[in-house]
Structure 1
Amino acid sequence: MSEKLIELEKNGGVATLFLNRPDKRNALNDAMRSELIAALEDVTADRAVRALVLAGRGKGFCAGGDVSAMARRLDEPQDSVAINGWRRQQQVHHAQMLLHNLPMPTIAAVHGSASGLGADTALACDFVLAGSDASFSWGYIKRGLIPDGGGMYFLPRRVGLPKAKELIFTGRSLDAEEALALGVADRVEPAADLLAQAQAWAATLAEGSPTALALGKSILNQSFELTLEDVFSRGSQAQGICYSSAEHRASVKAFVEQAAARAAKAGR
């Protein structure tokens, strides 16, 4: 049986998803993308999972799209290149949207290189934890391409439009410290401790109400495109759901009981 290209581990409410094609620096091909979609759908459906860490096996996070597949595309009949490319793009975008919209906090644990689609995939997560050896680049321009994994959406929201243009138009590489300074990365940790730190951070995020996290994230992901009235409208609906959640009821009940106990103690 062939080795899985995506490995999924679950431990105490934290799922860790590994890109597992180390001999190709975890470059994403069609088979790997299909497994990624299946793993993300698994995590989405599993209510016991409260946070996700995305990491790469081997020496790097993800080298982006598989260039060997691009080379094979050069030999395809000219009349099929466009439609086949469109179909492939649909799968790319489906995977990225699943990751971006996952109803729980997500952390990309980036060690080594995150290039092209690999960098886009890191930014599709809520947070980016970079190892001290990490590098990020949007080198699509060097292949005569544009970012197709969400980079033109995610990157400007992290670094601003002019800086995003500069990084995309040049395809230059950022080391971990520059990535942190620009806002591409949210934290930097020693490479040797990266996965453990990411999982610990995920465990902390997982302590929050899953209902409030899912609903809050769904609105925050759209907040730059919404008016204030839109945010209030969607927020009021989400808050109504939160009012009826088990987590809210238990929290309020515990607060009231603790307050009553303190008052009784003070009155002695």
Structure 2
Amino acid sequence: MSQEALIEYQLEDDIAILTLNRPEKRNAMSDAMRAELVGHLEALRSNRNVRALIITGKGKGFCAGGDIAGMKIRMEQDPAVVGFNGWERQQGVHYAASLLLNLPIPTIAAVNGAAAGLGADLALSCDFVVAARPAHFTWAYIARGLIPDGGGMYFLPRRVGLARAKALIFSGRRVSSEEALQLGIADSVCEADALLSTAMDMAKEMSSGSRTAIALTKSIINHSYEISEHQVFDEGSKAQGICYTSQEHRASVQAFLDRAKEAGK
């Protein structure tokens, strides 16, 4: 008997939907689940037929963070090997976050319930966050003697500002969906039964334009905080040159010219 997938995949109207599938564990991120997630993201990175991605969770939780079972195993290991094993594991965590961040299509987290620790970081790795009203977010790493290791120290300040990010991480307090909307952690809040349809509507809206232009814009704007305006201009010039030759641009211009010609008759 084949083992049930830890990440369910479906495609609807050229929108990919990845569903975390450990509902009995509130979708806590195990190493096996992360490996499946990476596999899907690597495939999506080169799939020209998919226009956007939605990530959500099955059951009551979005993602409860790191797998406690994995933490228990680490506690039982020889301290002499824990450090290197931890470093090696972190490379996998960061690779997954980087893959999601740099996917050349719009990405949306449809947060159906608790998004804690790695789960909250996973949501913020996406371009947009839609939260159901029962959802909440928390970065409680420090309560366990850890630092945010799933990208939270990069993503959260960009969402809420440096001081607020520090306050949320240092305190580890719970943030409701409504407060998340006010702070900028979430971009939209909706009723639980409308979550997926709301995320689908956003995915369609955000992916309705030129895929080439979206991918190139995302590749530059994602790191625009870290580079100078001259570098943004330089990268933008190169990207625009590619856009000039794209089929989407040429078709759009031709359609405009055809409409203008018809209007002038």
| Band of TM-score, shorter chain | over 0.9
* TM-score normalised by L of structure 1: 0.97
Q: Which amino acid aligns with 2:5?
A: K
User: Match for residue 235 of structure 1?
Assistant: 236
Q: Which amino acid aligns with 1:117?
A: L
User: Match for residue 199 of structure 2?
Assistant: 198
Q: Secondary structure at the match of 2:48?
A: coil
Stretches of structure 1 lacking an aligned partner (at least 5 in a row): none
1:94-144 deviations in Å (ceiling 9; x for gaps): 100000000000000001100000000000000000111110000101111
Stretches of structure 2 lacking an aligned partner (at least 5 in a row): none
Following superposition, the deviation at residue 179 of structure 1 comes to 0.3
* Pairs within 5 Å for 1:176-191: 176-191=177-192
Q: Which amino acid aligns with 1:167?
A: L
CA–CA distance in 1 between the matches of 2:140 and 2:163?
A: 17
User: Match for residue 92 of structure 1?
Assistant: 93
User: Match for residue 133 of structure 2?
Assistant: 132
User: Match for residue 52 of structure 1?
Assistant: 53
Following superposition, the deviation at residue 176 of structure 1 comes to 0.6
User: Match for residue 214 of structure 1?
Assistant: 215
CA–CA distance in 2 between the matches of 1:90 and 1:234?
A: 28
Q: Any conservation in 2 of the 1:56–1:110 contact (CA below 8 Å)?
A: yes
Deviates more, 1:48-57 or 1:200-209: 200-209
User: Match for residue 119 of structure 1?
Assistant: 120
CA–CA distance in 2 between the matches of 1:226 and 1:260?
A: 43
Q: Any conservation in 2 of the 1:119–1:136 contact (CA below 8 Å)?
A: yes
Q: Secondary structure at the match of 2:63?
A: coil
Following superposition, the deviation at residue 250 of structure 1 comes to 0.1
User: Match for residue 170 of structure 1?
Assistant: 171
User: Match for residue 66 of structure 1?
Assistant: 67
Q: Any conservation in 2 of the 1:14–1:206 contact (CA below 8 Å)?
A: no
* Pairs within 5 Å for 1:8-47: 8-47=9-48
Q: Secondary structure at the match of 1:125?
A: coil
CA–CA distance in 2 between the matches of 1:3 and 1:28?
A: 15
Following superposition, the deviation at residue 258 of structure 1 comes to 0.3
Following superposition, the deviation at residue 207 of structure 1 comes to 1.1
1:27-68 deviations in Å (ceiling 9; x for gaps): 001101100000111111210001000100111100010112
CA–CA distance in 2 between the matches of 1:224 and 1:100?
A: 15
Deviates more, 1:65-74 or 1:146-155: 65-74
User: Match for residue 103 of structure 1?
Assistant: 104
Q: Which amino acid aligns with 2:18?
A: L
Q: Any conservation in 2 of the 1:13–1:206 contact (CA below 8 Å)?
A: no
Deviates more, 1:123-132 or 1:39-48: 39-48
Percent identical among aligned pairs is 57
CA–CA distance in 1 between the matches of 2:251 and 2:235?
A: 24
Q: Which amino acid aligns with 1:27?
A: A
User: Match for residue 154 of structure 2?
Assistant: 153
CA–CA distance in 1 between the matches of 2:107 and 2:154?
A: 17
Q: Secondary structure at the match of 2:156?
A: helix
1:127-184 deviations in Å (ceiling 9; x for gaps): 0001111100001011110100100000001100000000000000000110000000
Q: Where does structure 1 differ by over 4 angstroms across 4 or more consecutive aligned residues?
A: none
Q: Which amino acid aligns with 1:87?
A: E
CA–CA distance in 2 between the matches of 1:149 and 1:112?
A: 18
Following superposition, the deviation at residue 69 of structure 1 comes to 0.8
Q: Any conservation in 2 of the 1:6–1:20 contact (CA below 8 Å)?
A: yes
User: Match for residue 253 of structure 1?
Assistant: 254
What is the alpha-carbon root mean square deviation over aligned residues? 0.6
Following superposition, the deviation at residue 206 of structure 1 comes to 1.8
